[in-house]
């Protein structure tokens, strides 16, 4: 006797169940790549504006707490990965909402800082911009905490680094 056709509304045995509204694995992976791509674009804008920045940085009068120039690349690489994963985690839980609008805003502000500081040598304007960036990251972190607490945790090192970078930016503006 033939088996009746499977009910398409019921997953086959062994198939993991998704929560209502949860994206498929394929769509989720594509969105993770989109978040990585967006952060890579922000990093690329900063990298282009920072061409020759090691010479500029070396020529500046720096505060005593300034790190060596080689530290910025590895630090930002880790931070951009955390930023991308945090955004993606929130998207998987909440979709595109106000929290992701804040994520986009902080990423735009992130991309703008390096051209102001290294490209245009506008240290005071860059400081004002990094204060806005700090506020945007904090707002993003708070919004992420309500949607996906782990995503908020991933933004803590970013907020800490931007706090340090803001103090460094202020010190450089005062000394130069």
Instruction: Enter the pTM of the model.
Output: 0.85
Rounded mean pLDDT for each run of 10 residues along the chain, 176 residues in total:
56 53 82 97 90 86 95 96 98 93 98 94 98 98 97 98 98 98
The pLDDT assigned to 89 comes to: 97
The pLDDT assigned to 6 comes to: 56
Tokens read off for 53: 């920045």
Residue 130: count other Cβ atoms within 10 Å of its Cβ: 24
Angle, helices 25-49/72-94, rounded to nearest 10 degrees: 150
The span from the CA of 20 to the CA of 46, in Å, is 39
Architecture of domain 25-175: Up-down Bundle (1.20)
The pLDDT assigned to 138 comes to: 98
């Amino acid at each position: 006797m033939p088996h009746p056709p499977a009910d398409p509304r019921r997953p086959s045995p062994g198939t993991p169940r998704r929560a209502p509204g949860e994206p498929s694995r394929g769509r989720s992976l594509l969105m993770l790549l989109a978040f990585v791509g967006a952060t890579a674009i922000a990093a690329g804008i900063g990298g282009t504006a920072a061409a020759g920045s090691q010479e500029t940085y070396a020529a500046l009068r720096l505060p005593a707490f300034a790190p060596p120039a080689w530290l910025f690349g590895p630090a930002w690489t880790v931070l951009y990965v955390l930023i991308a994963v945090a955004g993606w985690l929130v998207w998987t839980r909440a979709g595109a909402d106000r929290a992701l609008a804040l994520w986009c805003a902080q990423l735009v502000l992130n991309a703008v800082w390096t051209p102001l500081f290294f490209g245009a040598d506008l240290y005071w304007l860059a400081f004002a911009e990094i204060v806005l960036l700090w506020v945007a990251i904090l707002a993003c972190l708070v919004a992420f905490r309500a949607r996906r607490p782990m995503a908020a945790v991933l933004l803590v090192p970013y907020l800490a680094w931007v706090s340090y970078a803001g103090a460094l930016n202020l010190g450089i503006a005062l000394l130069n």
